[in-house]
Amino acid sequence: MTDQPDIVPVTLGARSYDVVIGEGALDSALPAIRELCGARAVVITDSTIAGLHLDTLTLALDSAGIAIDPVIAPPGEDQKSFSGLEALVDALTHAGVERGDTIIAFGGGVIGDLTGFAASVYMRGIRFIQIPTTLLSQVDSSVGGKTAINTKAGKNLAGSFHQPSLVVADTRFLATLAVGELRAGYAEIVKAALIGDAVMFGRLEALGARVLDPDHIASAIADAVRFKAAVVAEDEREAGRRALLNLGHTFAHAFEAEACGGVRHGEAVALGLALAFDWSAQEGRCPGPDADRVRAHLAAVGLPTRVRDLAGGPYDAALLAERMRHDKKNAGGSITLILAKGIGNAYIEPSIEASRLADFLEDQIA
């Protein structure tokens, strides 16, 4: 029997919305989708997701009296670009989307980020719904309102804050994901626990690799989304506490940039989490046994926790440190990292010297 989906509110005044999570979340959310879209919805997806899941979405929306008008982009990160944005805006115009309409992003993080950014600029802003189909997008990129495309100079360098009007994370769509994709998405779940919820980490740790089973994944997603929703509600524009959500990410972005696409974001985040805890322990900020527990749990789920385990190598410590020095979150010449005083107790450390970081990475690579 299917459990009732969880409904997690993101409380942002006039921009508040619900995240509906679980097996069958799409069916539960149909009345809300109908209210937002009316009898017709333009659905933006890619050809991979269209092949796998567009029939399911079409049937579900049809049962609620919503006809869909699909816009199908090619798959891949290349779509998160000015040319991908232009093509999408043209398609929305061609489909006759008007100012009062609500469009639907149906796919992973690329489709969600691109559609969200297009929705924020099309006719100076229209509403959009996120129906994420990957674990990474269900747990992280569909919630929070950051939208972006990449530029030649780097990832997510042109973007906006534009909150969705509804997020529907139906775990049935995860059934077609490769296990590597599931594991990679899971890194963002465990990240939430490591930042601010030691009890949640204990639950995940007790489940070990079983956390990815269909019986357990929906409640893990809901816990992580609940955590993120609270952080976003407190600091929507990342003036302070929201930066904690970058735990593991400054390391991860450096490895991803050096690997030139040869590594999954979530795998790099997993290694980044292990390294952030190692560095914290080495600096005497975090108990060593906490760093050991983090590494042991990530490894139990099958995620990389050592540089040698990460695809896309070999890596060079000086080049990685240089990448981290240029991270867009830094200010005033030194490196800002999210570190931890223990499991569930992350904090912002704004003044790390690049040379010390290079030495640390050298040791990690050796």
Q: Which residues bind ligand GLY (CB under 6 A)?
A: 141, 144-146
Residue 209 near residue 302 (C-beta atoms within 8 A)? yes
Using the structure block, give the residue that is written with the tokens 């970081």: 357
**Closer residue to ligand GLY in complex, CB, 144/344:** 144
Phi, psi of 67, deg, nearest 5: -90, 140
**Closer residue to ligand GLY in complex, CB, 146/191:** 146
- Residue 10's DSSP bridge partners are 17
Element (H, E) at 135: helix 135-136
The residues carrying an active-site annotation are 124, 146, 188, 228, 238, 242, 246, 249, 253, 265
Cβ 238 to ligand GLY shortest distance, Å: 9
Q: Distances from the Cα of 99 to the Cαs of 60, 89, 120, 211, 254, in angstroms?
A: 25, 13, 11, 42, 39
Q: Distances from the Cα of 350 to the Cαs of 22, 268, 285, 327, 335, in angstroms?
A: 38, 22, 14, 12, 6
**Closer residue to ligand GLY in complex, CB, 102/138:** 138
Using the structure block, give the residue that is written with the tokens 């990449």: 150
20 SS3 class:
strand
Cβ 141 to ligand GLY shortest distance, Å: 5
Q: What is the DSSP letter of 165?
A: S
- Which residues, 6+ apart, have CB-to-CB distance to 253 below 8 Å? 155, 268, 323, 324, 327
**Closer residue to ligand GLY in complex, CB, 187/358:** 187
Cα(244)–Cα(238) distance, rounded to whole angstroms? 9
Q: Which residue is nearest to ligand GLY (CB)?
A: 144
- Which residues, 6+ apart, have CB-to-CB distance to 201 below 8 Å? 190, 193, 194, 293, 297, 343, 344
- Residue 228's DSSP bridge partners are none
Cα(114)–Cα(121) distance, rounded to whole angstroms? 11
**Closer residue to ligand GLY in complex, CB, 22/144:** 144
Cβ 109 to ligand GLY shortest distance, Å: 8
**Closer residue to ligand GLY in complex, CB, 66/129:** 129
Would you give the end-to-end CA distance of the chain in angstroms? 51
Cβ 82 to ligand GLY shortest distance, Å: 19
Cβ 366 to ligand GLY shortest distance, Å: 34
**Residue type at position 343:** I
Cβ 19 to ligand GLY shortest distance, Å: 12
